[in-house]
Amino acid sequence: MAQTKAASRLRQMLADSEQLVVCPGVHDGLTARMALHVGFDALYMTGAGTAASRLGQPDLGLTTVDDMANNAGMIAGLDRSVPVIADADTGFGGPLMVARATEKYILQGVAAFHLEDQVTTKRCGHLLGKELVDTGTYVARIRAAAEARRRMESDIVIIARTDALQSLGYEEAVNRLKAAVAAGADVAFLEGMRTKEQMAQVVKDLTPTPCFLNMVGGGVTPLINAAEAKALGYSIVIWPMAGLTSVYLGMREICRELKETGEIKERHTADGQVDGGVRDVFELCGLSACGEFDKKMGGTSFAYKC
């Protein structure tokens, strides 16, 4: 398996200490297309969003490895030059299963993924009552992922996440991250931080390992902007709710309008064009590019203007 362009690209970004990789959370093709259109250097495939959009379920470990890997792979395939960082929850089982999951993510062209130390009946890191596996079990997950990466001759980036802060405290959480890095993880992710002091301290305590920051709207971690995250020394910051919050607010507004008034009024841009209509959505998803490709290859189905 050759090294993927996207994983190498992400590794280059991580090697540049001046660069902070800012990733909007996306959960499906349309939200990913919109983030790509706006021009982000990398995307984050949220597990919570995958559960909500593919299953209509909360983030409680209900997605299978194939739900997650297939969703991540579809998103990664939209633009292979833009790295996709994907949620891999607990790795979906013991070391054998974690290795299989890693192989699936690699084959799907994902650039990076995170593995955590919750039990497999996991929950969102910003909910109460999280249960953990012991450090040995967690490290075995990371080791299995690193071994699968070696077997596949891949350069996929492994992000170690710990949820230990809530029940075991800061020191134990940092020890778990250090053990995960020793077992082959490239990046450290302390989940559920509650203070700006912790946010600053963990970067120092994990040096020189790049650190990952999770900005969940409505979660337990204080929200800071990209400039502040960069000043603290973070390498990656994700905003996992970007797609979910947009859909939640936008769909609610439009559904209410239809229910209350019996119609949905067209939205317009400042220069009077319809905004968000059918053509905009198709074009965002590559309508013109599809027609051009078909024609160039000698196809005739889309030779007329769509």
Ligand X SMILES: C[C@](O)(C(=O)O)[C@H](CC(=O)O)C(=O)O
Which one is catalytic: 28, 103, 105, 114?
A: 114
Contact between 216 and ligand X by CB under 6 A: the answer reads yes
- Please identify which residue in the block is written with the tokens 């379920």: 57
Q: Which is nearer to ligand X, 47 or 152 (CB)?
A: 47
d(CA 117, CA 98): 12
2-5: list long-range contacts, CB under 8 Å, 24+ apart: 2/153, 3/153, 3/154, 3/155, 4/80, 4/106, 4/109, 4/111, 4/154, 4/155, 4/156, 5/80, 5/81
Burial class of residue 46 (count of CB atoms within 10 Å of its CB; 0-12, 13-18, 19+): buried
Q: Is-catalytic flag, 66?
A: no
> What is the chain's percent helix, strand, coil content, to nearest 5?
45, 15, 40
Concerning whether 28 is annotated as a catalytic residue, the answer is no
Single residue of 59, 103, 155, 205 touching ligand X by CB under 6 A? 59
**193 near ligand X, judged by CB under 6 A:** no
With H, G, I as helix, E, B as strand and everything else as coil, classify residue 36: helix
Q: Give whichever of 149 and 161 is closer to ligand X, judged by the CB atom.
A: 161
Least gap, CB of 120 to ligand X (angstroms): 14
Compose the 230-269 pattern: x for residues touching ligand X by CB under 6 A, - for all others. ----------xx----------------------------
Active site (annotated) includes residue 116: yes
What is the C-alpha separation between 283 and 215, in angstroms, rounded? 30
What's the distance, CA 184 to chain centroid?
20
Tokens linked to 127: 């909910």
Q: Does 214 engage in binding with ligand X (CB under 6 A)?
A: yes
Interface with ligand X in residues 6-25 (CB under 6 A): 25
Contacts with ligand X in 145-184 (CB under 6 A)? none
Known catalytic residue: 123? Answer: no
Structure tokens at 27: 């959960």
Least separation in angstroms between CB 298 and ligand X: 43
Q: By rule CB under 6 A, what count of residues binds ligand X?
A: 14
Phi (first) and psi of residue 75, to 5 degrees: -65, -45
Q: Which stretch binds ligand X (CB under 6 A): 14-22, 35-43, 122-130, 165-173?
A: 122-130
Match 């990733």 to its residue by tokens.
Answer: 23
Give me the catalytic one of 143, 191, 205, 211.
191
Q: Nearest to residue 154, comparing CAs of 15, 7, 42?
A: 7
Q: How far is the CB of 237 from ligand X (least distance, A)?
A: 12
Q: Annotated catalytic residue: which of 123, 161, 176, 211?
A: 161
Q: Identify whether 248 is a catalytic site residue.
A: no
Rounded to 5 degrees, φ, ψ at 64 are -85, 170
Q: Segment near ligand X (CB under 6 A), from 46-54, 193-201, 257-265, 284-292?
A: 46-54
Q: Identify whether 161 is a catalytic site residue.
A: yes
Rounded-to-integer distance, Cα 110 and Cα 88, Å:
11
Q: Which of 109, 125, 233, 243 binds ligand X (CB under 6 A)?
A: 125
The set of catalytic residues is 44, 59, 87, 89, 114, 116, 124, 161, 191, 214
Which positions touch ligand X (CB under 6 A)? 25, 46-48, 59, 87, 124-126, 191, 214, 216, 240-241
